Amino acid sequence: GSQDPQDYHIKRQKSDPKASLTFPVTASRYDAPFPFYRRPAEIGRFSLDAQRCYHGDARQLRYYAPPPMEGPTPGFDLRDGYPDRYVKRDEDVREGLDHLLKWVAQNQKELQTDDKGRPLNADFVTWRGHLTKVLTTPYETRDGWLLAVSLFRGTLYISEVETEAAREEREHRSELLKELAYMGYKFEQYMCADTPDGTPDPSGVVNTNEAFCTVIRTRLGTHSLLFSGEVDCTDPRSPWPDPPSCYVELKTSKVMHSLAHRKNFYRQKMIKWWAQSFLPGVSRIVAGYRGPDGSVVGLETFETMKIFQLIKEDPGCWKPAVCMNFCAAFLAFVKKVVTEDNPKLVHLFAWEPGHPISYTVHRDSDYIFLPDWYVEAMST
Ligand code: A3P
Ligand code: MG
Ligand code: MG
């Protein structure tokens, strides 16, 4: 039965005072010392192949292979191969948490060691990308989000729902933005090899179905987390040889010609780069700077743990502690709100810039995201 969520919320507010709770997002409220964040540990890996099929191994892991000299012009043409050597993942397929849940179901025996009688020793299971959005929320001024939450056998699962605005944006994406997205993937191809001592092959096809994902366990304050995220490559010559520290995140950005431009880049873009890599403990981010003709005019390596030093001189910049404190507080809010253990009950948390977070409650709706096969696998 699909009841109108708005009506439902209003009715709930009358009978259940808990439902009228909203959650504030203002950055200044979370300006406190950095919270406890346990060093992220990799507990598993999986891959998605060229057909987007799941494999419980690292077959799609690529190896960091930068050009011999970090010179001014590595000679990359990021437009090369567009659109003829481009196989784009079908974004109409909403995968939800399915690939991650498959990994959990296949590895549940190793995850059981818990005294609370849960099949899974974690308070939260989600994608790293969803947590990145939560972390950056106090500073986000453009894009809102919707996060669906279900409590199942003692673990809270968080799965993003595409907003109306995001779907509009995706369905009407300009040709320019489509090519820019391709260029980000093309940069990965120029920087990665298939073997530890190999060299990149830019003559191949860019296929965005392919992905290598790490599964991470960590703790933020009182919340134990299990999440997975896509990893661009591993550096076989990394000063930190073990995963996840040996992983490298690759990024492209427009070349900067002024200090003002760089300051703006630190404020707007670096927060997303930092959050994405800090969460899983990826220690380096390598930026390729795009010239107007689509060539890469320079490379720059950022150490994730040193980014806060770059930004702290600017008082108008974002603060890592605010992001982390906000995330910890939001997760505590989710724990307080979602207390009925039921895989067919979904609380939909909604946020728009300039507003507090609110939520609606949905029983047996289209928002259900824990598949029957998963509920069955974790119940036996
Ligand atoms: P860049 O970020 O270098 O531009 P990731 O950096 O997370 O590994 O993602 C790889 C590439 O996917 C990005 O490269 C970008 O081209 C594309 N991409 C990621 N998120 C996107 C989004 N929300 N919209 C459009 N393209 C996106
Ligand atoms: Mg990536
Ligand atoms: Mg990347």
Average pLDDT over residues 189-214: 98
CA of 185 to the centre of ligand 2 (A): 8
Q: Checking DSSP bridges between strand 124-127 and strand 155-161, what pairing results, if any?
A: parallel
Atom 13 of ligand 1, nearest CA residue: 184
Residues above pLDDT 70, as percent of the chain: 93
pLDDT of 10: 37
CA distance 62 to 75: 21
Q: What DSSP state is assigned to residue 262?
A: H
Q: Which atom of ligand 1 is nearest to the CA of 208?
A: 12
DSSP 88-105: ---TTS--TTHHHHHHHH
Percent of the chain with pLDDT over 90: 90
Residues 6+ apart with CB under 8 A from 214: 42, 44, 45, 228, 229, 231, 243, 244, 247, 280
Q: What is the pLDDT of residues 236-286, one digit of tens each?
A: 999 999 999 999 999 999 999 999 999 999 999 999 999 999 999 999 999
Whether the ipTM is more than 0.85: the answer is yes
CB-based burial of residue 267 (10 Å sphere; 0-12 exposed, 13-18 middle, 19+ buried)? middle
Atom of ligand 1 nearest to the CA of 249: 8
Tell whether pTM > 0.80. yes
Give the residue-averaged pLDDT of 48-68. 98
Closest CA to 45 of 196, 212, 210: 212
**Which ligand 1 atom minimizes the distance to the CA of 183?**
16
Structure tokens at 313: 């001189």
Ligand 1: residues with CB < 6 A are 181, 184-185, 187, 232, 251-252
pLDDT in tens, 138-180: 999 999 999 999 999 999 999 999 999 999 999 999 999 999 9
Q: Rounded to whole angstroms, how far apart are CA atoms 198 and 137?
A: 40
